[in-house]
Amino acid sequence: MTSAIEPVDKYFDLERFPFRGLFDGVANVWETLSAIKSYLAAYNEYNIECAVPAGAWLANKDKIAVGEGTVIENGATITGPAIIGRDCVIRQGAYIRGNLVAGDGCVIGHTTEVKNSVFLNGAKAAHFAYVGDSILGVGVNLGAGTKLANFKIDTGERNVSLTIGGEVIATGLRKLGAILGDGAEIGCNSVTMPGTIIGKNTLVYPCVLLRGIVGSGRIIKLRQQQNIEKKRTQ
């Protein structure tokens, strides 16, 4: 049992998050992911307060809550249990696989797949993303093609561990994607390795492969050498 090394308030402002009870009793921020299932099981306000077009597919519908002003487009798939707040957009081709808690003003876009994750208010995964076992803070934006990998390729060590201050911390989680602090932005076609944690307002440039823990207010770039030559004519 470790002490609270990475507390929730280091990464997120929960004041306006309508489902902040999800974070009650959480010491290390990644422990929130283990609480999603029980939070949804205890939730008793599963109401759909927006129009659902005939072309959208809702499975386990009695365990789906959607707030006023949210737009669900034709071709979206939502499997409960799931809570989606007010004024969100669930676009055509979105695939929500269950165990989702999303606040107000979120976007889950075309061909974006989400499972066992939390979107705080204003978090957006608008285009071609994979969000598994992850937490997106207030106003986080994922560029097109972002993948938050959640499962280690090396099956010899099944659970994801973290290295914090030189100490290896066992999370006890077989699947752990990324935890992105408020205001973080991820550029197009970037990939985070399992157990990546990014602080508030950090910017990750496109096409970066990222792992580990990154502090707040950083810029992460991938430097490439380009050769531009004159085109030969025949």
Signed CA dihedral, 121, 122, 128, 134: sign only? negative
Contact 28, 10 (CB under 8 A): no
Q: How far apart are the first and last CA of the chain?
A: 70
127 is known as an active-site residue: yes
- Tell me, letter by letter, the H, E, C secondary structure of 125-169: EEECCEEECCEECCCCEECCCCEECCCCCCCCCCCEEEEECCEEE
User: From the candidates 86, 97, 127, 211, which is the catalytic residue?
Assistant: 127
Residue with token string 């157990």: 195
- The token pair at 6 is 């990475």
Catalytic residue list:
127
